[in-house]
Structure 1
């Protein structure tokens, strides 16, 4: 698909992720709760990934729920970024501190990191409360510094965090000795490592679990393969125009992540698509059964490379999910791109052989071991590397939960809960969210850097954006 106008909307025939391959029997495929669209509703939510599903869940299960909520999805339920990610809920427990402090100040930096642990805890709470079968696992993760420059950068950040008053006791364990780091991570190139809490799960099953709860118990109307073309003010209401007709709504929620600027042009350059690639790998015997990995991972390099891969091993079936390799292709092929129907052979090759290089004694792969499949997903990045959550400036009744910077599993659940509170008329303080997430006029002003400018700046210093 070469038409740039068409690429402003999700591609109709995307690549299929491991998560989506394994759920082709889902009752939500092709789901439309009603055969036609209603004329009016209380709330329209655009997008059925984790942002849309969790916002619907917290609205409908919270106090004074709206009488009618509809989710509009251009493709199948959870067919976007959430259904294509690494299945990794991995809070940043220290690494982004200096960057957030530089951008927002110490108080907000502390709040951003605290929010990510809150999100992991809330995700576990909701999964257990609702008994959602999504292979949720909670344990720990390794940050693996693959060169000394990366190790030095992380340690400097951790020391700055502690010097500013952070108590990392029982949260972050720093391993400075390269030999010990190599032994613990099973990674011969490790120069240092950090250990901190993390979780993994089957993201599609979490989202469809939330959607099914809302449909069966709370009256949610889910309409798949329904593309929103425009949203226009209609008095004190909103007219949501789709390819199947129009809906008049009291409130509208943009949970459209990388595609937000299609409907909200003011987000052009402020919320930019980024194409990433991920894979599923059948491990060799040294990484199977009793030898499975005990932690999730991020492998990261300092300058001049300044990039990373991320990885989980699923406890239920042992399949390894490995994503990254984005330095293998020019940045122009990733930043600003929305076509998730294609894969880059250079990245596919990298993902297929990376674990032989990263992990000790990976060994020869038998037939059926190694790369099982790989796929593409479209993330949404913001210049400050934090999402937009809240009411849109000068647009009463219009709300957003988007721009999760490839890090949504560690943010969305609390963001959706907070957004639901704001939509009920509660104060920002009631959300528990960092104030820097709010899409204020000041934040949206043209004086701030675009995503492209920020990317050039950070990678010029050898820094990476979030994983």
Structure 2
């Protein structure tokens, strides 16, 4: 049904975040000239998952002495470096989907986990004094059509009826006039206000990696794609073009490319191409008194946040401008689609009141693409692999990794060190259990696929 995703493309485009990292000391970094012959733990993938797992392993109790992190391209050059920088917990909206897949108890846990992630991201950034343009504030779900308004109302009500906490987490404003005034969106029919954060994701990851290299002996090896992982007595052999690494434990932080090394994940984690852009706002949305004061999820599957530090707008989505079959399974992040660029360019003047004509230098400045890892149930795979002792996974974050990965990484680090799953606080449904792995894999196309794509637009992560 699905073919192997292969490997990350050798010449990816640069996101806004990557354009600002051309002086990074981790470009082309290899901690040691030669690949280490052995390690206690090998982590494959240096995005937020790989970096955060390394961080929690090395700063936790009884840290392993030798941790190697292998990356096919540059450090943090995949989905994390190409997302919208939006750490936005889902406080109610997708509860029905989780409930359908895993039941009420697990669905409530998934929602709570995202709130826990925002808290943990905040704590880590403050503890390590990470300069990544971190900002916390309000976030708006803004329905602009009757169908989306009905969808949000139904999701909210079912969540509340099942005992989901909304007091202090979600404020619902149903008066259209009040919603339009608050959001500056003339077509707003209501607004659901919750809490979120925005940040420069590449800076966050590079800070964690540098900290682990400089203080905790992490061995980072970029431009070292892993070709195969072979089981041996007491551990694993990780094979690369530069040699082999023997290890007792191996961690797959490989997201969209997981099935290349773990074929059992074909159709369970698959690539999905997304697009994002940076927009220079008009004067009507520039300056301290005119800037947007919240991040947004908009009715047509777009997400938006205006950076307080420089006032530029990060704007992503536009999936409806391309046939979904061209996005699913696509690993080409060398360029964005012109059709999506054109569609996104036209939207802000339509969505926001008084946007006005764009002067020279205003409007969309740059667009890029990134490859996300999607799953059937729209939740990641986290935990030890069945019948593969010492092999672990943290992948398939379904375009929502900023609101999930930090807690997943902390929990998985504890499990790698011998801790029990119950102590992690993570939802049990995240685990790659035999039951989950034996369930039907993804359908090839059609209405099911379109509903998956529509559902997963909301975070920009």
Give the TM-score range, shorter chain.
over 0.9
Matched, 1:297 2:296: yes
Match of 1:328 in 2: 321
> Please, which of 440, 445, 460 is the counterpart of residue 448 of structure 1?
440
Distance in 1 of aligned mates of 2:171 and 2:71: 42
Q: Distance in 1 between matches of 2:457 and 2:406?
A: 18
Q: Which residue pairs with 2:228 in the alignment?
A: 230
Where in structure 2 are there 5+ consecutive unaligned residues?
Answer: none
Distance 2:375 2:164 in 1: 26
Asked whether the equivalents of residues 385 and 466 of structure 1 are also in contact (C-alpha less than 8 Å), the reply is no
CA pair 91-298 structure 1, distance change in 2 beyond 3 A: same
Is the contact between residue 270 and residue 451 of structure 1 (CA under 8 Å) also seen in structure 2?
no
Structure 1 unmatched runs, 5+: 302-307
**Pair 1:260 & 2:249 matched:** no
- Counterpart residue number, 2:211: 213
Question: Matched residue of 1:433: which SS?
Answer: coil
Instruction: Pick the aligned partner of 2:303 from 289, 310, 315.
Output: 310
Does the CA-based 8 Å contact 1:141-1:198 persist in structure 2? yes
RMSD, aligned CA: 1.4
Check whether the contact 1:458–1:464 (CA below 8 A) recurs between aligned residues: no
Give 1:45-444 correspondences, 5 Å limit. 45-289=43-287, 290-301=289-300, 308-444=301-437
CA pair 438-385 structure 1, distance change in 2 beyond 3 A: same
Q: CA deviation at 1:448?
A: 2.4
User: What per-residue deviation string (whole Å, max 9, x for no partner) do you get for residues 370-425 of structure 1?
Assistant: 11100000000000000000001100000000000000000000000000010011
Q: What is the SS of the residue equivalent to 2:28?
A: coil
Contact in 1 for aligned 2:317/2:457 (Cα 8 Å): no
| 1:458 CA drift (Å) | 6.3
**Hey, what's the Cα distance between the residues in 1 that align with 2:6 and 2:297?**
31
Aligned partners of 1:456, 1:421: CA distance in 2, in Å? 39
Q: TM-score, normalised by structure 1?
A: 0.95
> Which of these residues, 431, 446, 459, is aligned with residue 450 of structure 2?
459
- Deviation, 1:165, is 1.2
2:37 maps to 39
In the alignment, is the contact (CA less than 8 A) between 1:382 and 1:451 conserved in 2? no
Aligned to 1:305: none
Q: CA deviation at 1:167?
A: 2.6
8 Å CA contact 1:381, 1:451 repeated in 2: no
- Give the length in aligned residue pairs: 455
Is the alpha carbon distance of 1:460 and 1:31 closer, same or farther for their aligned partners in structure 2, counting shifts above 3 Å? Answer: closer
Deviation at 1:170, TM superposition (A): 1.3
Structure 2 distance, partners of 1:64, 1:72, is 22
Cα drift, residue 459 of structure 1: 3.4
Shift of 1:451: 5.8
Give the match's secondary structure for 1:48: coil
**Cα distance in 1 between the residues matched to 2:106 and 2:399:** 20
Q: TM-score, normalised by structure 2?
A: 0.96
SS of alignment partner, residue 271 of structure 2: strand
Distance 1:458 1:164, change over 3 A: farther
- Tell me the secondary structure at the aligned position of residue 291 of structure 1: coil
Give how far 1:300 is off. 2.1
List structure 1 segments (4+ residues) > 4 angstroms apart after TM superposition: 460-463
CA shift in 2, pair 1:421/1:196, >3 Å: same
Is 1:32–1:221's contact at 8 Å kept on the other side of the alignment? yes
